[in-house]
Amino acid sequence: MQKKIAVLVGSLRKESFNKKIANELIRLASQTLEMKIVEIGDLPFYNEDLEENCPEKWTDFREKIKNSDAVLFVSPEYNRTIPGVLKNAIDVASRPGGKSVWKGKPGAVITASPSGIGGFGSNHNIRQAVVFLDIPMMQQPEMYLGKINESFEDNGKTVNERTQKILQKFLDAYETWINRF
């Protein structure tokens, strides 16, 4: 049975390394994983006052998450934490109180950065935020892709062989993880 995976990318930059990683994961995924990037850049900032006349973009986003079987976060690190656009998406789908669409969806996180530590702070901040929302997070392998700017082929779109092997190992573990649920 095919699993629907919502992939959230925490970077909006046109040539985002993290979006490239997400696209590589989609390319490498087995036929049993239907992975799709769910866009988060146009979500209005969460404001409880707007719930009464809920923005259509919130409703659409919540439905996409609700209709997924699992979630994968692929994100950079901004100032040792979660990029604002990703935190906003997490908040939008967790509200209104008691109606979170995240509950029980198995998840995982990959962080990537040109720095050597590969988004370590962001990775753990994402985990901290989503565990509270009852997203069971895959523990191993942890995925911090440091020096990501050196991980692509000359075309700048596909990853080199070493990085592809790392991503494939992660995907295999992720598929095993989500099949438990």
The letter for the amino acid at 75 is: S
The predicted structure's pLDDT at residue 158: 87
pLDDT over 90 (residue 7): yes
- Identify whether the C-beta of residue 90 lies closer than 8 Å to the C-beta of residue 130: yes
The predicted structure's pLDDT at residue 175: 97
Task: Categorise residue 44: left if φ over 0, alpha if ψ from -120 to 50, beta otherwise.
Answer: beta
The CATH number linked to 33 is: 3.40.50.360
The predicted structure's pLDDT at residue 133: 96
**Domain count along the chain:** 1
Q: What is the pLDDT of residues 101-155, one digit of tens each?
A: 999 999 999 999 998 888 999 999 999 999 999 999 999 999 999 999 999 988 8
**Structural domain span for residue 122:** 3-178
